[in-house]
Structure 1
């Protein structure tokens, strides 16, 4: 059983998962992803940091949303340590539902083409490729996705 709940992004569990994610991204893409994310960017009213935990209470995944516009939130720092099946889906479902409840109508995200697992995961969960936005404009290694949030 996997539970997902709002969490403190400054907790030791959060820090540990962020570091694991950054190391994995660096190994896959050559970039840790830290340059486009800071903990304080998920500190606002319409932002959210969550942790996924297994039945023993161990933190096994994380993710965040933060505002891009009034209606669009950005999905950031999605990570599963893959110790339990379904962690990514549980995180994504929780974050999508939370974004809808916060008044967002769409989620955007960026990953790298070379990160095949992430690209396939998002496509398999209803995300479609969009033009690169913000800091990803002109970055050929980046691929951006969007999903319209429906009831």
Structure 2
């Protein structure tokens, strides 16, 4: 059983998962992903940080959304330690539902072409490749995705 709940991005559980994600990204892509995300970005009232927990209450995954525009949110820091199947889907479903409830019409995200697991996961969940946006414009290693929430 997996539960997903709003959480404090500064908590020790959150920080542990962020560091695990950064290490995994560095191993896959050569970049830890920290340059385009700070925990401080989670302070806004239209931003959300969540943790996925297993049946014992242990944090096993994390994810976030933050506003890009009034109608578009960006999905950030999605990570599962893969100790339990379905963590990614549970996180994504929770974040998409929250984004809709907050009035967002679209979710966007960036990952790297070389991160095949992430690319496949997002495509399987209805995300479509779009032109790179914001800090990812002109970065050939980056691939951006979008999903309409309506």
Gap regions ≥5 residues in structure 1: none
Aligned to 2:76: 76
Q: Give the number of equivalent residue pairs.
A: 150
In structure 2, the residue matched to 1:22 is: 22
Q: CA deviation at 1:69?
A: 0.3
Partner of 2:62: 62
Measure the CA separation in 2 of the matches of 1:87 and 1:123. 16
TM-score w.r.t. the length of structure 2 is 1.00
Give me the TM-score of the superposition, normalised by structure 1.
0.99
Alignment of 1:37-116 (within 5 A): 37-116=37-116
> Residues 72-128 of structure 1: CA distance to partner in whole angstroms, max 9, x if unpaired?
000000000000000000000000000000010000000000000000000000000
Considering only aligned residues, what root-mean-square deviation do their CA atoms show, in Å?
0.3
4+ aligned runs moved over 2 Å, structure 1: none
In the alignment, structure 2 segments of 5+ residues that lack a partner are none
